[in-house]
Structure 1
Amino acid sequence: MKINQSEKFRCPWCLGFKEYIQYHDEEWGVPVYSDKVHFEFLVLESAQAGLSWATILKKRDGYRRAFANFDYKMVADFPDQMIEELMLDAGIVRNRLKIASAINNARQFMEVQAQVGSFTGYIWDFVNGKPKDNQLVNMSQAMATSPESDLLAKDLKKRGFKFLGSTTIYAHMQATGLINDHLSQCFRHHEVKRLVR
């Protein structure tokens, strides 16, 4: 699929296929204030480890079905045998450790809520409640981690979360708008800035 960048400039990483462009144009970098949406992205980002985001994006509907539409309360109650069932589900990445971590992380997610009130409040504290704008001019300036993602990943690990290292957490922070890594000339860069609460 050929995209005319002269009509509307986009971050070049998204130009592979239609759903990727749609994800970039409508979701990536939008500040997220919903615990359920944060949980969805934690499941998807942890599943991505070692794979491309494009692979996960194509399986997103499969994850939605397999993980109770990302209802973390339901996922936290999945019995052990559910891991075996999900290992047979071609709609998701069939990696036992990643599947088990999603269930474990749902339980830890609820522990965070019980301790601090909301996961949203907890995670936004790591950027002092305001998105970090890296003002990237080209993709060579893009980072894989940051001091904030290092601190958050370390705290999540201490709390018992799995498969959420600093690189994965940085991707989560980008996706959920805690970090604005749209290129400065991308049409979405200023649009997502206007969505901050």
Structure 2
Amino acid sequence: MERQTGKRCPWAKTPLEIAYHDGEWGRPLHDEGALFELLELEGFQAGLSWSLILERRAALREAFAGFDPEKLATWGEEDIQKALAAPGVIRNRSKVHCAVTNAQAFLRVREEFGSFDAYLWGWTEGKQLEGGLERMEDTPAQTELSRALSRDLKKRGFKFVGPVIVYSLMQAAGLVNDHLLSCPWHELCGGGTC
């Protein structure tokens, strides 16, 4: 998509954040691999800045088999140790173990629903929700929907999927359009058209 001019959402400040905002964030996402990667990146981000995650994204992809859930689901302790030792990885044992656990849960959901995409977007009846935000400070950290989805993901065996992380996933994957109304990407990403 052509780069837009105008006042983008103010959280996008660094070159990596701007590229992510303009090229990915808030766009309705249906690719299985990309959804799993976002789920894991949001989990890795817990307690850290999103800017740090974007800086380490390539290293995380490399260390975690491209975030391929089929590969990660088979990992044992040796693979986990190798990932923990990889350069640029967030060295949090719980988060690394979580990637394996979540890959296994992801595959179970995919088997039950036909795809993780169908499961996730089923929570919004396949439609993008409208945030209608005028100011960043109006952005909720979580919603009733993210709390319900968080509870269901946890029941299905997912880890690091609290309601705040889930809401961040919903924003990133475009289930909710939280681009500010003044941001040129708001209209472009609305209704799943971007």
- Which TM-score bucket, shorter chain as reference? over 0.9
Q: 2:103 aligns with which of 92, 106, 128?
A: 106
**Matched residues in 2 for 1:130 and 1:196: separation?**
11
| Structure-1 separation of matches of 2:122 and 2:75 | 30
SS state at 1:97 partner: helix
Gaps of 5+ in 2: none
2:38: which partner in 1? Answer: 41
What residue number does 2:69 align with? Answer: 72
- How far did residue 49 of structure 1 move? 0.5
Work out which of the residue numbers 132, 136, 144 in structure 2 matches 1:135. 132
Q: Quick check: 1:12 aligned with 2:1?
A: no
1:140 match: secondary structure: helix
Correspondence 1:21 to 2:12:
no
Is the counterpart of residue 155 in structure 1 residue 155 in structure 2?
Answer: no
TM-score between both structures, scaled by the size of structure 1: 0.93
**Per-residue Cα deviation, 1:46-67 (whole angstroms, up to 9, x for no partner):** 0000111101010000111011
SS of the residue corresponding to residue 123 of structure 2 reads helix
- The count of aligned residue pairs is 190
Q: CA deviation at 1:195?
A: 3.3
- Deviations along 1:41-94, whole A, 9 cap, x unmatched? 011000000111101010000111011112110111112221111221231101
Unmatched 5+ stretches in structure 1: 1-6
Change in 2 beyond 3 A, CA 1:160/1:87: same
Tell me if 1:50 matches 2:44.
no
Q: 2-side partners of 1:103 and 1:88: how far apart? A: 16
Looking at structure 2, the residues matched to 52 and 12 of structure 1 have their Cα atoms a distance apart, in angstroms, of 15
Query: Quick check: 2:42–2:169 contact (8 Å CA) kept in 1?
Result: yes
Q: Supply the RMSD in Å over aligned alpha carbons.
A: 1.2
Per the TM alignment, residue 194 of structure 1 is displaced from its structure 2 partner at its CA by: 5.1
Letter in 1 for 2:134: V
Instruction: Give the aligned residue type for 2:142.
Output: T
Tell me the residue number matched to 2:162.
165
What CA distance in whole angstroms lies between the structure 2 residues aligned with 1:24 and 1:113? Answer: 28
1:181 aligns with 2:170: no
**Which residue of 117, 125, 137 maps to 1:120?**
117
